[in-house]
Chain A
Amino acid sequence: MSDPAPEPPSLPPPSRSRAAEWSVTAPSLLWLLALFVAPTLIVFAIAFKPADPLGGIGSGWTLDTLRSLANPNYPVIIWRTIWISAVATVFCLLLAVPAGYCIARTSKKLRQFLLLLVIVPFWTSFLVRIFAWKHILHPEGLIKHTLVALHLSPPETPLLYTPGAVLLVMVYTGLPFAILPIYAGAEKFDFQLVEAALDLGCSRWQAFWRVFLPGISRALLTAFLVTFIPSLGSYVIPDVVGGPGSEMLGNKIAQRVFTDRNLPHGAALAALLTVAVLIPLILAVLSRRASAKGGLAKAEGGALR
């Protein structure tokens, strides 16, 4: 906690050399522009191009591709994509918050070990791990056999090739990405605040809700973004462990590009996904800004009185 309290509200820092700031920022900015913004714009542009029967891009501009998105199959797939991603993210956060909390609260030595356990899966290739799940969930696999032996599952219902399998593997994949930011937030969190909440009449559960979760809200947002957005773009997981009923938008894009050789159609689907992700994000950022401004204005009004 900083002792000499900053004078409210904080003034902008003295105007530093702009050139110096730009020179530090420029490389990463260029990188993002060249390898992220430009390709995205190109994908957007291709969506307005006609398809070429040879799998290339035709000349001229057309809205035909966009019209083809009206295909009644797409709303189902988009809905499923959002639904599976949202549920997977919720499960990830539900598991990651207690995990991050516990890791932050244990002794330094144990903490190192637990963090190592979180990171260990990354040492094995993503694809290998997904195929491992295929074996685990296989009708002749360990889990199915155990469940049948315990009479918890009838032998004929499959585990593999279901939306449930996709969800499970997506949670498995996203979990480390959710734990790490939440651990970082919890580690920085001042646990004396929890004591203060207990002291003021909160039960442990209330202290968790009223003080701990708001205290790590930024970490929660980060964890949400780094699990939800990659989930939306999932393609390998539903392809390997999912069945026809668990196809996601990523699979459709792959199908359009690789099987149908229709690049504009794939681009249009990709653009649709991007817009679908961006809209809630932009809304969230705007509402945050509005509330921050409102708060400041209120504080200033109070000071003037």
Chain B
Amino acid sequence: MRVRFQISISKSHLTSTRVPLHSSAMGDFLEFQDISKHFGSTRAVDHVSFGVKKGEFFSLLGPSGCGKTTLLRLLAGFEQPDSGRLILDGEDITALPPHKRPVNTVFQNYALFPHLTVRENIAFGPRVAKWPRSKIDDAVAGLLKLTQMEEKADRKPHQISGGQKQRVAIARALINKPRVLLLDEPLAALDLKLRQHMLLELDLIHDEVGITFLYVTHDQTEAMSLSDRIAVMNNGHVEQIGAPAEIYETPVSGFVAAFIGDTNFLDGRVLRIDEEDPNYCLIEVAGLPEFVCYNDKQKKPGDLVHLSIRPEKFHISNEAPKSRSGSKNAFRAKVEDVIYMGTLTKYWIRIQNHRLAISQPHGRFLLDEKPPRWGDEVWIWFHADDGYMLDRFNPSEADQAAEVETAGRPESRV
């Protein structure tokens, strides 16, 4: 459908800032230092500190009202923080007005200038900066090519489609060679198919230009698929920062676990340290037989623990587990619901007062495996490493995250 971007043209214009990704040797390129911002009595951002590395694709992910857009607007200079500092490449930019900051924004609703053509929109920044005519023309031509808008260059914004507006907005923001490109929910206004397509294009553009991207979204799929690192935000503070896999596999809080993907929560108590391996402990959860769990948080007997177990970490079968590790954490359960979803099947199972969500990918689903069916008494089990102890668990926040994230979630928490 779409061809790859022509790398040769834009390289001279845009790749000057290119640096290797994830260069951990370098310090943070962009730093939020203890930033706070109130609107009236609402605390939009509450003592937030973190750093972004040069060239990184960094996402701020969270439900609406979590403060992610405020952080972006603070960085763009549209808002002033009540306290804290913004450091970009070693320079304090906290007090700079928007037009003096070396950052540019891609707005959620594009904010293209309706009285200017596509070409004039892209050339807006350089014209204000009074670049020489030939330099502007070259840069605009390069970006028209990068974003494949050459044929529509003389159209007005109302004459082009949503996806095209999106590309113009990106080109317009990139032409000033910003140190950081800020993207405010750039795909939210597009329909699903176009969104998936633009996701790919954004990724390619990021690889192409090598500029640091700060991406704000409430959509975990977007954040997971594009980002080098994600900051999950809630109620004005950062819950967790990490690579997508890190955040998915080792969430620090109930909120993160519930907001990113589906999960099951189990509240229990450490009974004793495992005799065979002191890295593991035995856990008691009301209504379940005791089971083994990896004890990376060094909990002691008697400590309360909150576990998150992802639905796909469970195994479900009509037969008892055969492996030794599986047999330790195996429970008898009853299937309450089965939803066949093509690539996988979702089960809702019940053990006493626990309702758990389990998803199973299909191997040879219909050929030689007998899948559990509604009402079956089954065995479920999980590996001791797959029960992850949360640092923090706030039931109402976890509920809220689950509600925001998807509909039709299991009521897994007791």
Contact = CB atoms under 8 A, between A and B. Distances in A.
Interface stretch (A155-163, A201-209, A269-277): A201-209
B301 to A, nearest CB: 57
Nearest to B100: A201
Interface in A164-217: 190, 192-193, 195-203, 206, 210-211, 214-215, 217
Interface string B77-109: 110000000000000000001110001110101
B213 to A, nearest CB: 15
- 5 closest Cβ pairs, A-B complex: A8-B159, A5-B161, A196-B111, A200-B125, A198-B98
A203 B101 CA distance: 12
Given A3-B162, A197-B124, A299-B154, A203 B111 contact: no
B78 A198 contact: yes
Given A198-B97, A202-B99, A303 B107 contact: no
B111 A5 contact: no
B147 to A, nearest CB: 15
A295 B110 CA distance: 23
B104 A200 contact: yes
B412 interface: no
A8 B151 CA distance: 13
Interface residues of A, number: 33
Contacts of A298: 154
Contacts of A303: 151-152, 155
B307 to A, nearest CB: 42
Contacts of B154: 298-299, 301-302
A193 B113 contact: yes
B99 A201 contact: yes
B128 interface: yes
B165 interface: yes
Contacts of B152: 302-303
A152 interface: no
A1 interface: yes
A3 B107 CA distance: 14
B176 interface: yes
B153 interface: yes
13 contacts: A1-B109, A8-B155, A192-B111, A195-B98, A195-B107, A196-B111, A198-B97, A198-B98, A199-B76, A295-B156, A299-B154, A302-B151, A302-B155
A9 interface: yes
B59 to A, nearest CB: 20
A196 B151 contact: no
Interface in B119-171: 124-125, 128-129, 151-156, 158-162, 164-165
Contacts of A192: 107, 109, 111
